[in-house]
Amino acid sequence: MKKTWWKEGVVYQIYPRSFNDTSGNGIGDIDGVIEKLDYIKSLGVDIIWLCPVYESPNDDNGYDISNYRKISEDFGGQKAFNELLEKTHQKGLKLVMDLVANHTSDEHYWFTESKKSKTNPYRDYYIWKDGVNGGPPNNWESFFNGSTWEYDKTTDQYYLHYFTKKQPDLNWENPKVRKEIFDVVEYWFKKGVDGFRMDVISLISKPDGYPNSEFEKFQETIINYYANGPKIHQYLNEMNQEVLSKYDIMTVGEGPGIDLENGPLYVDEKREELNMVFHFDHMFIDCGVGGKYDPIPINFKTFKTVFNDWDKALKNKGWGSIFLGNHDFSRMVSRFGNDKKYHEASSKLLATLLLTMRGTTYIYQGDEIGMTNVAYNSIKDYNDVETLNAWKSAEANGQDMNRFFDVVHLQSRDNARTPMQWNDKNNAGFTDGTPWLQTNPNYKKINVSKQEKKANSILNYYREMVAFRKENKTFVYGDYECLDVDNPAIYAYRRWDENEKFLVVHNFSDHSVNWSYNLNQRQYILLKSNSSENQKDIFEFAPWQVKILKQK
Ligand code: TEU
């Protein structure tokens, strides 16, 4: 397995809108990121992934791009971005951008042209179809509710949009479209950008014939129709040959429908497509039949199995991504930990998991201080288009809206988008103005400034663990094996190479556990723990305690 910077590096994901506002308009900006570069550097991370900062009408907060070569003035424009890139590099950090190329904004020039007539040169940049029996071309449902087809009366045809109707899907069949996107990618590489996270890249190749979906469960429709289309690997290989392979950059493809079978195809080094993917097997683990807004309890054994199976699938082939949260899901500690009684311990435990698995670690902004879900009082306080559309659709279906509001509290993407909590001053120090999304009221308790001052804070634990991973490359490249998979509370795994042998044991529960696994105590020494409890007996664990042991 080739060693490289993006395998050893730790990524810090920034959702710029919610990170740090220096202009006072309530929206985070690029200058705000620049202002916090020392903070980011102090975490010990190596790579910043910046969510979209391009020009956008913000129907989906920047995931609807109207100009791929322009940095949004809301965020400070190109000048601010140039400065960010320069300063990031000066600090020895890399900067990775988001590439949203499955769709554009409907306000992108290509689309406004495409709409004009059936003979417009940009018509085939998008996917236009005739209706069927006075309705849309097929029964497909969009990710954000409603049909994936929008009727346009100018030409009496429908266009495809997997997400909102302001996010028309590009037609990757058209070689001109591919060329346009590859040029965009190259444009940013030439400016010095160090890579791309590729938004819903698994969806760019559409199925032949656009057949009706036979499935009721949305997840099944994604897997069987939307994702991993017939030409996906051809397109990615082409992008690799045309652009990616010419630069020392990293790529991570994001995608619904990426599974154990097809996942390795994206990242198999011999196939020359992408470096890494984000699959959602552990992130959709609480989705019921009705999807994300029909949650079910998390099955802990399944959780472990997802990590085990993916490690095995990618072993000696490609490289994994280890993440437990991002801007699309609830807060990691509220979801996989216990954000009430064991907030600190469980945040630290999850940090340990992120930083001791095989694969590149991705830390989402705010998780390093244990930011939690928010529970706004009214649906009016929510901003996310996914949440609001899910709400409208639940209302239209006559659901019990009190119950549904609980689901919103649990699942809304806004949980992860509340402003970064810097200190206990107004608006958590995020802005002097009115924040675009209300601050989580717990900012007085949970904030950077407070944790800077406390030696054993969650924040300082992250710093310690990032440094620990750096010092012990066995955690990066070493082998992985899970022990006692059936244990309902313990997640234990070995990490080893020819030099070192480690054992990481997490107690993922609210009770103490004596892990009476068949291991000889005396063979191990304790290297690290997220708490000082039970330090004497190596296999005894307080609630949410994790220990890193070394085999003598
Ligand atoms: O998300 C892709 C995706 O699969 C999401 O729709 C996901 O299923 C959902 O957010 C879970 O709640 C990417 C971006 O990360 C997301 O922010 C965008 O809205 C989406 O693509 C469209 O570009």
Q: Return the HEC string of 309-358.
A: HHHHHHCCCCCCEECCCCCCCCCHHHHCCCCCCCHHHHHHHHHHHHHHCC
328 C-alpha to ligand 1 centroid (Å):
6
- What is the residue whose two structure tokens read 């609807």? 64
Is the pLDDT at 429 greater than 90? The verdict is yes
301 C-alpha to ligand 1 centroid (Å):
26
- What is the residue whose two structure tokens read 């920034």? 14
Report the chain's mean pLDDT, rounded to a whole number.
97
Of 440, 217, 234, which Cα lies nearest the Cα of 339? Answer: 440
* Binding pocket residue ranges, ligand 1, CB within 6 Å: 60, 63, 100, 143, 163, 199-200, 256, 292, 327-328, 386, 413
Pick the CATH number of 478-551 from 3.30.365.10, 2.60.40.1180, 3.30.1450.10, 3.20.20.70: 2.60.40.1180
Is the pLDDT at 475 greater than 70? The verdict is yes
Nearest CA owner, ligand 1 atom 12: 328
Of 540, 513, 512, 515, which Cα lies nearest the Cα of 526? Answer: 540
Q: Which atom of ligand 1 is nearest to the CA of 143?
A: 6
1 C-alpha to ligand 1 centroid (Å):
31
Is the pLDDT at 534 greater than 70? The verdict is no
Give the confidence band of 112 by pLDDT, cuts at 50, 70, 90: very high
Provide the token pair at 375.
């529970």
Give the confidence band of 1 by pLDDT, cuts at 50, 70, 90: confident
Residues sharing a CB contact under 8 Å with residue 439, sequence separation 6 or more, in sequence order: 418, 419, 421, 427, 428, 430
Q: Which atom of ligand 1 is nearest to the CA of 63?
A: 23
Tell me, what's the pLDDT at 290? 86
| Cα gap 292→84, rounded to integer Å | 36
Q: Which atom of ligand 1 is nearest to the CA of 64?
A: 23
Is the pLDDT at 535 greater than 80? The verdict is no
Alpha-carbon separation of residue 135 from 11, 162, 169, 521 (angstroms): 45, 17, 19, 68
Residues 430-445: pLDDT tens digits? 999 999 999 999 999 9
Q: Fold identical between 109-160 and 478-551?
A: no
293 C-alpha to ligand 1 centroid (Å):
14
Is the domain covering 175-319 a CATH 3.20.20.80 domain? yes
Tell me, what's the pLDDT at 37? 98
Is the pLDDT at 349 greater than 80? The verdict is yes
Q: Are 142 and 59 in contact (CB under 8 A)?
A: no
Is the pLDDT at 307 greater than 90? The verdict is yes
Q: Are 541 and 523 in contact (CB under 8 A)?
A: no
The pick from 63, 141, 326 for probing ligand 1's pocket by mutation, whose C-beta has the most ligand atoms within 8 angstroms, reads 63
Q: Mean per-residue pLDDT for 59-82?
A: 98
Q: Mean per-residue pLDDT for 217-225?
A: 93
Residues 197-209: pLDDT tens digits? 999 999 999 999 9
Is the pLDDT at 19 greater than 90? The verdict is yes
Residues 476-525: pLDDT tens digits? 999 999 999 999 999 999 999 999 999 999 999 999 999 989 898 889 99
SS3 129: strand
Domain boundaries, given as residue ranges, for the chain? 1-91+322-374+418-476, 109-160, 175-319, 478-551
Strands (E), 413-510: 479-483, 490-496, 501-507
SS (H, E, C) 528-548: EECCCCCCCCCCEECCCCEEE
Nearest CA owner, ligand 1 atom 14: 199
Q: Which residues are tagged catalytic?
A: 199, 254
Is the pLDDT at 533 greater than 90? The verdict is no
Strand partners, 551: 524
**CATH T-level assignment (fold) for domain 1-91+322-374+418-476:** TIM Barrel (3.20.20)
ipTM: 0.97
| Cα gap 13→149, rounded to integer Å | 32
Is the pLDDT at 131 greater than 70? The verdict is yes
- What is the residue whose two structure tokens read 């012990």? 472
Is the pLDDT at 224 greater than 80? The verdict is yes
Is the pLDDT at 289 greater than 90? The verdict is no
| Cα gap 38→87, rounded to integer Å | 10
The pick from 106, 141, 143, 203 for probing ligand 1's pocket by mutation, whose C-beta has the most ligand atoms within 8 angstroms, reads 143
Tell me, what's the pLDDT at 532? 85
Pick the CATH number of 109-160 from 3.90.400.10, 3.30.390.50, 3.40.50.2300, 3.40.190.10: 3.90.400.10
Q: Mean per-residue pLDDT for 16-20?
A: 98
Nearest CA owner, ligand 1 atom 8: 256
Provide the token pair at 516.
């009476």
